[in-house]
Amino acid sequence: MIALAIGIGILATATEASRWATTSAADRLTFDPTALSLTGLLFGQLAIGVLGILVMSAEYSTGTIRATLAAIPNRPLVLATKALVFTATSVVVGLAVSFAAFFIGQAILSGSTAHATLGIPGVLRAVIGGGLYLAVLGLLALGLATIIRHTAGAISAFVGVLFILPLIAQALPSSIRDGIEKYLPANIGATLTSVVPGFRSSASAFSPWVGFAILCGYAVAALGVGAWLLQRRDA
Nearest to 230 by CA among 88, 80, 48, 62: 80
CB 191 within 8 A of CB 205: yes
Report the C-alpha gap between 63 and 107 in whole angstroms. 48
Among 20-29, 40-49, 62-71, 129-138, which range has the highest average pLDDT?
129-138
Q: What's the mean pLDDT in 77-94?
A: 96
Is it the case that residue 71 has pLDDT exceeding 80?
Answer: yes
Is it the case that residue 202 has pLDDT exceeding 70?
Answer: no
Nearest to 126 by CA among 38, 7, 29: 38
Task: Show the domain range for 213.
Answer: 43-94+116-232
The pLDDT of residue 230:
93
The pLDDT of residue 18:
86
| Residues ≥6 apart with Cβ < 8 Å to 162 | 45, 46, 49, 137, 185, 186
Mean pLDDT across the chain = 91
What DSSP state is assigned to residue 206?
P
Q: Is 184 left (phi over 0), alpha (psi -120 to 50) or beta?
A: beta
Report the C-alpha gap between 62 and 128 in whole angstroms. 36
Torsion on CA atoms 134, 207, 125, 130, rounded to nearest 10: 10
Nearest to 46 by CA among 154, 127, 181, 201: 154
Task: Flag whether 22 is in a domain.
Answer: no
The pLDDT of residue 235:
66
Apex 118 CA angle, 115 and 121, nearest 5: 90
Task: Flag whether 109 is in a domain.
Answer: no
b/e 204-216 (16+ beta carbons within 10 angstroms → b)? ebbebeebbeebe
Report the C-alpha gap between 73 and 232 in whole angstroms. 12
Task: Flag whether 32 is in a domain.
Answer: no
Task: Flag whether 107 is in a domain.
Answer: no
Task: Flag whether 134 is in a domain.
Answer: yes
Task: Flag whether 106 is in a domain.
Answer: no
Q: Is 209 left (phi over 0), alpha (psi -120 to 50) or beta?
A: alpha
Task: Flag whether 78 is in a domain.
Answer: yes
Is it the case that residue 131 has pLDDT exceeding 90?
Answer: yes
The pLDDT of residue 58:
93
pLDDT band per the 50, 70, 90 thresholds, residue 213: very high
**Could you tell me what percent of the chain has a pLDDT over 90?**
69
Report the C-alpha gap between 202 and 207 in whole angstroms. 11
Report the number of distinct structural domains present in the chain: 1
pTM (two decimals): 0.91
Burial classification of residue 129, based on how many CB atoms lie within 10 Å of its CB (0-12 exposed, 13-18 middle, 19 or more buried) = buried
Task: Flag whether 6 is in a domain.
Answer: no
